[in-house]
Amino acid sequence: MSNKKDLKLRVKTVVGHMKGIEKMIDEDKYCIDIINQITAIQSSLRKISDQLLEDHLHSCVKSAIKRGDDEEVLGELMEVLKHRTQK
């Protein structure tokens, strides 16, 4: 896994932004401002997900293919990719 510390920091940042959104809602802030914050969080989560997937490809998938477990890991990846492309 890439830098676990970096990933945890990114997650904590997202959690902080989520709390900010909750506060914005409580304070009846402008809806578009709240939506913009939500969009920023979605982007941050996508980046975290991208990094985790890249780490998985470079470590777990590589190891599984070397062991001959390529069919299982490819099936798993296909499921992940299907979910990532659905909206």
Pick from 75, 48, 51, 47: nearest CA to 61: 75
pLDDT at 5 over 60: yes
User: How many structural domains comprise the chain?
Assistant: 1
- Residue numbers of the domain that contains 42: 4-85
Residue type at position 5 = K
The CATH code of the domain that includes 40 is 1.20.58.1000
Q: Quote the pLDDT of residue 1.
A: 54
* CA-CA-CA-CA torsion sign (60, 50, 83, 41): positive
pLDDT digits (tens, 9 = 90+) for 33-65: 999 999 999 999 999 999 999 998 888 888 888
For residue 29, what pLDDT is reported?
Answer: 98
pTM to 2 decimals?
A: 0.80
